[in-house]
Amino acid sequence: HLLEPFSVHIDFESGLLSPDPVVLVRRLSSLAGYFLQNADTDSEVYSVHEIRVPAERDHLLSSTTIVLPGKVGDEYYMTKGHFHANRDRSEIYLTLSGEGLLVMALENGTTVTKEMRPGVVNYVPGHWAHRSVNTGSEPLVFYAVYIGDAGYDYATIAERGFPVVVVDRDGGPSVVPNPRYLA
């Protein structure tokens, strides 16, 4: 697929792109069942701003994600999290602003958690489900680059959850076992 070269500007503070991203907004209503407690509002939790290229093996897809600060109960706002549909496809995250935790898990339950803060690159190898959690008081903004045909498997996480959850304990983030995880 032969494309014309192009450029996009990212505002590192806000994560907004120009020109013309594809924007997806996730509100609490579209995250029902993802948090341990039920939410009583329909606030926005995060948005994804994707640079348009064909979702094919010979392209690199990329996007910014803006996870707003907030909690449901004591659980910090986070993305749904997913495996890639093509499980072996890897991904790179570069945090632009804010702070958070990147939770990664294998199907067998092995879990690794890494800090996200401005300037940090997190490498997400294939086969690791990934979820970003905003543990700060400002938006968590990161830029992700992934192989064009990675695709999304949300169903596995929707059914089983992640092995751990990130909760506010005494004013700071704590990574604890998920009581609802289906091993």
Q: Which of the stretches 14-22, 77-85, 106-114, 173-181 binds ligand 6PG when contact is defined by CB under 6 A?
A: 77-85
Q: Containing H/E element for 2? A: none
Cis status, amide bond into 173, omega within 30 of 0? no
Cβ distance to ligand 6PG smaller for residue 43 or 169: 43
- Interacting residues of 140 by C-beta distance below 8 A, sequence separation 6+: 65, 66, 67, 69, 95, 97, 98, 99, 100, 116, 132, 133, 134
Q: Please tell me the distance from the alpha carbon of residue 150 to that of residue 162, in angstroms, as a whole number.
A: 20
Chain length of the chain: 183
**Least spacing, CB of residue 154 vs ligand 6PG, in Å:** 7
144 contacts ligand 6PG (rule: CB under 6 A): yes
Cβ distance to ligand 6PG smaller for residue 144 or 169: 144
91 contacts ligand 6PG (rule: CB under 6 A): yes
Look at strands 60-67 and 44-51 and give their pairing: antiparallel
- What binding mask, one character per residue, do residues 46-75 give for ligand 6PG by CB under 6 A, x or -? --x--------------x-x----------
Site residues (CB under 5 A) for Ni ion?
91
Binding site residues, ligand 6PG, CB under 6 A: 48, 63, 65, 79-82, 91, 130, 132, 144, 146, 150
